[in-house]
A and B are shown apart, each in its own frame.
Chain A
Amino acid sequence: MNYQNTPLTDTVDVALDGPWTQYWLAFLRLVTGWWFFHAGVTKLIEDGLAFTYGPMYMKGMTGTALGPIPVWMGENLAWLIAPGVPLFETLIGLALIAGALTRLAAVGGVIFMTLFWLGNADFGNGLVNGDFMGLLLFVTVLVVGAGRYYGLDGVLENTAFVKRHPKLRYLMG
């Protein structure tokens, strides 16, 4: 295929290493991070580390594809969920905003969004809803390693330590 004749390449570099792709992936990461940071930090302001709605929400997740797991978690892991929801939402948000340990944070976001997607079960217009789109945003950030673009992971991955331990890139990027 002759890409020279592709209309977009005349005006905008759409290659994955092109400036617009990096710019947009960084922006997407920033907005996704702000989304979670805002959700987490406002819970911290209102409820501190005692977000009791978290375990209650999990207990209500009956009849989902996750089977009894969320209900069991709501009943037995309330000590972790109540402080964990606001704390991890905040930390995931901060990590994405800074672009540090981006992939690790995005995995956390995927777990959160999976629970929201199944728990809210807002499927009136089909399975693809806002919650699922949020899930896909985190997967996208994870797959492309969006922390490398205008993020701290771009700096961290160039340190000698990370170069000696390239497996760390699976938590960064």
Chain B
Amino acid sequence: MTDTIQKAAMALGGGLMALGIVGLGIVEMLAGKPYGAAPLTNEAGAVVATPAVDPVLRTGLVLAGLAVLGLYGVYAAVTAEEATDEAVEAGTIAD
């Protein structure tokens, strides 16, 4: 069960972050200028190209991925078993 939850957290967390950074980054590149995630301005400061994908969506996906991993960390800490005296004496506590 714990192993399944861990795998799900890894897949979902990593997947959301990869989607926000790489997946939508590819979309941004294919859509042409500005290629990055900020508006492109000319020398006069006027915006000449805006990102195809809202950076708020992309950063939001990354934050969601980090949140999933963070929540898993909290879950792992809360559900970790306390050591028995025998285990302490034998030095068999795992990471």
The interface of chain A, by Cβ under 8 A from chain B, is: 63-66, 107, 110, 114, 117-118, 121-128, 139, 142, 145, 160, 163-167, 169-170, 173
A114 to B58, CA, bound (A): 13
In the complex, what residues of A have CB within 8 A of residue B21's CB? 127-128
Interface of B is mostly: helix
In the complex, what residues of A have CB within 8 A of residue B76's CB? 170
CB distance from B52 to the nearest CB of A (A): 13
In the complex, what residues of A have CB within 8 A of residue B58's CB? 127
Say which residue of B35, B57, B66, B77 sits within 8 Å of A170 (CB atoms). B77
In the complex, what residues of A have CB within 8 A of residue B28's CB? 126
Q: Are B38 and A123 in contact (CB under 8 A)?
A: yes
B3 sits at the interface (CB 8 A): no
CB distance from A107 to the nearest CB of B (A): 8
A114 to B25, CA, bound (A): 19
CB distance from B41 to the nearest CB of A (A): 10
In the complex, what residues of A have CB within 8 A of residue B85's CB? 164
Ordered nearest first, which 10 A-B pairs have the shortest CB separation?
A: A65-B60, A123-B37, A170-B77, A123-B38, A65-B59, A163-B88, A124-B38, A126-B36, A65-B56, A167-B80
CB distance from A137 to the nearest CB of B (A): 14
Q: Are A165 and B82 in contact (CB under 8 A)?
A: yes
A110 to B17, CA, bound (A): 15
- Provide 22 A-B residue pairs closer than 8 Å at the C-beta atoms, listed in order of the A residue: A65-B56, A65-B59, A65-B60, A66-B63, A107-B70, A117-B59, A121-B55, A123-B37, A123-B38, A124-B36, A127-B37, A139-B69, A145-B95, A160-B88, A163-B83, A163-B93, A164-B88, A166-B82, A169-B80, A170-B73, A170-B76, A170-B80
Q: Are B55 and A127 in contact (CB under 8 A)?
A: yes
A66 to B63, CA, bound (A): 9
